[in-house]
Amino acid sequence: MSTKKPFDILVYIGRFQPFHNGHKHVVDKALAVCNTLIVLMGSAQKPRSIKDPWTIDERIVMIRRSLSEADSQRVTFGSLFDTLYNDEHWVRSVQDEVRRVIQQRGDDQNVVKIGLIGHEKDPSSYYLQMFPQWKRLDVSNLAGLSATQIRDALLDTENETGNMMLVESGVPTLVFEFLKSFRKTPVYAQLVKEFEFIRGYKKSWEKAPYPPTFVTTDAIVVHSGHVLLIRRRAEPGKGLWAWPGGFVDQKETILDACIRELREETRLKIPAPVLRGSIKAQRIFDHPERSMRGRTITHAFLFEFPMGELPDIKASDDADKARWIPLSQFFEMRDQLFEDHFDIGAYFLGSI
């Protein structure tokens, strides 16, 4: 085991959407004081969205291109699934990734010097407090850089020249070349449409006396080893799969709204009284960042039918398709599900 530096291993956790000069500043600081840097990237296997435009592999390319060959050899990568409603599972995933690297290095995990490096930018950085067993190394933010600002500038086509100048000033040179190439892809064009939709959606609420909180409901229907999903026809999340559901009207209960949306979106051939009698569980899902549209709290209901022929379904105008999905297939669809709908399903169906 090398003892030339204060840390054998430093852990750097982030989404790196995209990798910018602030991230590079942290990486440089880390490599100066550790032998091995583990970069753990969140939002693994998330579908592309204006919040998470790039895959794990694309983010690794950005980071590798920003490092010298010698530094790149001292950096190893790992991926983390978002588990919005299970912090303990997320912490365990981080610990598993670090243990994997320790084993690869052949170190004694009882004496290896491990640290956690990062910057507490806002309340979302609370995860830095979740690893008291590792020494913290805090790094100041570089010139107030924000990945959100860079993403917004890249997707905003109204002032293309000025926005691209902002992007260029905020990321390493070869990352900027990567982003310029990305702008020529069909994926980028769809992300621009979603960005414009979300901007217009938020603009429509600008004159409200206070930030709005939206109330929605979702139906998790389990029937004979299958779940009922719809594919979204339009932005946000066009083409992604989701639970049937929607916004609660002013003059209906949340359960009434759930059953109404379920029947409207899937034409499910099960009478409303039977649906009411088949509710096995319910829960509120209220992570502040669960929806790009704004603060959205959803009430989800689990409807369970253990056996029998799958009822007929047919998608409504709001959905591109409705389909019965085998449970085994659902758990392979993390990268195809809208917002936090995978987490919602994992909660009710018993697996993360």
Q: How many CB atoms lie within 10 A of CB 96?
A: 11
Which of the four pLDDT bands, split at 50, 70 and 90, describes residue 128?
A: confident
Tell me: do 118 and 76 sit in the same domain: yes
Q: Report the C-alpha gap between 124 and 144 in whole angstroms.
A: 16
| Rounded mean pLDDT, 315-338 | 91
Give the pLDDT confidence score for residue 1 in this predicted structure. 47
Give the pLDDT confidence score for residue 351 in this predicted structure. 62
Give the pLDDT confidence score for residue 311 in this predicted structure. 94
Which of the four pLDDT bands, split at 50, 70 and 90, describes residue 140?
A: confident
CATH of residue 105's domain is 3.40.50.620
pLDDT tens figures, 155-167: 999 999 999 999 9
Q: Report the C-alpha gap between 282 and 284 in whole angstroms.
A: 7
Is 235 a residue whose pLDDT tops 80?
yes
Higher pLDDT residue, 191 or 314? 191
CATH of residue 273's domain is 3.90.79.10
Give alpha helix (H) positions in 39-86: 56-65, 69-72
| Rounded mean pLDDT, 50-59 | 98
| Rounded mean pLDDT, 144-149 | 89
Tell me: do 67 and 167 sit in the same domain: yes
Give the pLDDT confidence score for residue 51 in this predicted structure. 97
Segments forming the whole domain that contains residue 320 = 214-349
With CA atoms as reference, report the closest residue to 282 among 214, 350, 218.
Answer: 218
H or E segment to which residue 25 belongs? helix 21-33
Q: b or e along 130-140 (b: 16 or more beta carbons within 10 Å of the residue's beta carbon)?
A: ebeebeebebe
Strands 214-223 and 279-285: unpaired
Q: Say how many domains are in the chain.
A: 2
Which of the four pLDDT bands, split at 50, 70 and 90, describes residue 122?
A: low
Tell me: do 173 and 240 sit in the same domain: no
| Rounded mean pLDDT, 273-302 | 97
Tell me: do 157 and 236 sit in the same domain: no
Give the pLDDT confidence score for residue 326 in this predicted structure. 97
Give the pLDDT confidence score for residue 4 in this predicted structure. 78
Is 16 a residue whose pLDDT tops 80?
yes
Give the pLDDT confidence score for residue 3 in this predicted structure. 53
Residue 197 lies in a domain: no
Tell me: do 153 and 218 sit in the same domain: no
The overall average pLDDT reported for the chain is: 94
Residue 205 lies in a domain: no
Residue 264 lies in a domain: yes
pLDDT tens figures, 329-352: 999 999 999 999 999 999 999 864
Residue 234 lies in a domain: yes
- Maximal C-alpha separation, the chain: 71
Tell me: do 246 and 149 sit in the same domain: no
pLDDT tens figures, 252-274: 999 999 999 999 999 999 999 99
| Rounded mean pLDDT, 241-258 | 97
Task: Give φ, ψ of 177 to 5 degrees.
Answer: -65, -40
| Rounded mean pLDDT, 59-80 | 97
- In whole angstroms, how large is the CA radius of gyration of the chain? 23
Is 202 a residue whose pLDDT tops 50?
yes
Tell me: do 161 and 240 sit in the same domain: no
Q: Could you say which DSSP state residue 50 is in?
A: S
